[in-house]
Amino acid sequence: MDDITKAIHDYVVREYLEEGDTRDITEVTPLITGGIVDSFSMVSLKRFLEKKYSIRIPDEDASPDAFDTLQSIAALVRRFQQQSQKVGA
Amino acid sequence: MAFNESIRNKYEAELEAIRSAGLFKQERYIHSPQFSEIEVEFPVGAAIRKCINVCSNNYLGLSSHPEVIAAAHAGLDRRGYGMSSVRFICGTQDIHRELENRLTEFLGTEDTLLFPSCMDANGGFFEACLNDQDVMIADRLVHASIVDGMRLCKAMQDTYKHSDMNHLEEKLQEHQDKRVRMIITDGVFSMDGDLAKLAEIVSLAEKYNAMVFVDDSHASGFIGRTGRGTHEHCGVFGKIDVITTTLGKALGGASGGCVSGRKELVEMCRQRARPYLFSNAVAPVIVAGALKVLDLISTSTDRRDKLEWNAKYWRGQLKDAGFDLKEGDSPIVPVMLYDAKLAQDFATDLFHEGVYAVGFFFPVVPKGQARIRTQLSAAHDKRHLDVALTAFKRAGEKHGILGLGKKELMAKVLV
């Protein structure tokens, strides 16, 4: 796992798995369709990403598809990092 | 735009997808008043079948109580059928305010406002009382109506793991910069039947200067020594800032709900809560019936005591029979089956044995957590429970699940 994926992994484990839940969360584990994260609790994950990576993820981009795996979330983060760099440049 | 063939086909395809996913809900027609025994037509057109009902919210057995019915009749005669108005135009009768005062006294709060339902109370409260400087921190298993109400509010949303007080504390620490922190929980969680840790929640609220909101719909009238609710049971009576509850379950079972709590918050709802402002007053007949319900449960605890006995007996008997149950202290006793199809088949088997229960599965509960949610009532006699137990045992034997623990059961059914 790269740094971004690892950071998201650690947050997901801490924020969403119950104590004693030893499920292995890989880059492709379905988080939303797999019932680990739901649309109600997803808000805190979005806020974590925005704060940690200094990005703004519009609500229309924070879709269940985009948030379904560590891989897709990391891709989303990179996309908005690049966008904010372009704006900054 | 006309409702043309193409639009019709689009909706038909969506409904078919719901059917194919095994998520299609069907109503069953009941030809009798709500009680421990009911007459059911299912499927439509089938012969009517007498069943023992173990899935209603008629916790205190007051839905068809003769004194409640008589009071409702009298209310109908004295105050009419409907108000044809929202409350603040010409829809408030003396009995609406009388019921609000009686609920305030019963719940141990400062003031109460009636809503058409608790769904509406939860839908309207947050937007009326919180703004974008505030944060709402909810247990992840709160009722769907709270989720909807929070989504209508501009305050920041956050959640904590179900009943995890360490996680709640972390969230309270994280949001110390907000004007108002509101902790939001159900008193009794409707799908699992467990109680919120209200004593710990109140203690955290005091430590981190937060308010506490409790939806006590599955508790008002029977949880606690005198049935006042989860706050009485947990020793924090008078310390909850906002209680929402319903008249549609233990308290007569008709309809109507309320926001009860700090008088300024209740007044904010009276001024700003949209479901209160833009829907009709609760019908006089329901108000009159609810007043009688409060008379009955304020003068005797016999009904909640019987319900408590029934729940303990039922839980103990199911456990002894080898069913896997969710732990809890409420009259909601979920029999865990984990698999959606098994839950539906099990409910069908019970129906053929003369017991009415319903399988719950995703999206009502998380995937892989399907169950039969049984609910006890003071209207049940031991005889009802023993007959229902025999039906459960037969169905359990048929599916070979008796005596299996959670892991074995999941391994057997989730293949």
Q: Could you tell me which chain A residue has the CA closest to the CA of B151?
A: A40
Please tell me whether the overall predicted TM-score, pTM, comes out greater than 0.90 for this model: yes
Question: Any idea of the CA torsion for B216, B222, B228, B229, to the nearest 10 degrees?
Answer: -30
User: What sign has the CA pseudo-torsion B24, B29, B33, B37?
Assistant: negative
Cβ proximity of B182 and B134 under 8 Å: yes
- Residue B158 and residue A38: Cβ atoms within 8 Å? no
Cβ of A35 and B367 within 8 Å?
yes
On chain A, the residues whose CB falls within 8 A of the CB of B368 are 35
B43 prior amide bond cis, ω within 30? yes
Angle between the N-to-C axes of helices B382-398 and B340-352, in degrees from 0 to 180, rounded to the nearest 10: 130
CA distance B158 to chain A (A): 6
Q: Cβ contact (<8 Å) for B157 and A38?
A: no
Q: Which of A13, A44, A52, A59 to mutate to test the interface with B (most CBs of B within 10 A)?
A: A44
Nearest alpha carbon to residue B388 among B334, B319, B317, B308: B317
pLDDT tens digits, one per residue of B29-46: 999 999 999 999 999 999
Q: Is there a contact between B285 and B143 (Cβ–Cβ < 8 Å)?
A: no
The answer to whether B37 and B52 have CB atoms below 8 angstroms apart is: yes
pLDDT at residue B302, rounded to an integer = 98
Measured between CA atoms, how close is A9 to chain B, in angstroms?
17
**Which tens digits make up the pLDDT trace of B231-250?**
999 999 999 999 999 999 99
Could A41 and B366 be called an inter-chain contact, meaning their C-beta atoms sit closer than 8 Å?
Answer: no
B123 CB burial (10 A radius; 0-12, 13-18, 19+)? buried
> Within an 8 Å CB–CB cutoff, is residue A44 touching chain B?
yes
Look at residue A89 and tell me whether its pLDDT is greater than 70.
no
Q: B75-109: per-residue pLDDT in tens?
A: 999 999 999 999 999 999 999 999 999 999 999 99
pLDDT band at B181 (very low <50, low <70, confident <90, very high): very high
Predicted ipTM beyond 0.90: no
CA distance A74 to A8: 8
Could you tell me which chain A residue has the CA closest to the CA of B146?
A40
Residues in B lying within 8 Å of A, measured between beta carbons: 138, 140, 147, 157-159, 161-162, 164, 362, 366-368
Least confident window among A37-41, B132-136, B200-204, B210-214: A37-41
Dist. CA A38–CA A62, nearest whole Å: 12
Helix (H) or strand (E) segment spanning residue B334: strand B332-338
From B235's Cα to the closest Cα of chain A, the distance in A is 27
Catalytic residues of B: 190, 218, 249
C-alpha span between B160 and B174 (Å, rounded): 12
Query: What DSSP character marks residue B87?
Result: I
CA distance B255 to B168: 33
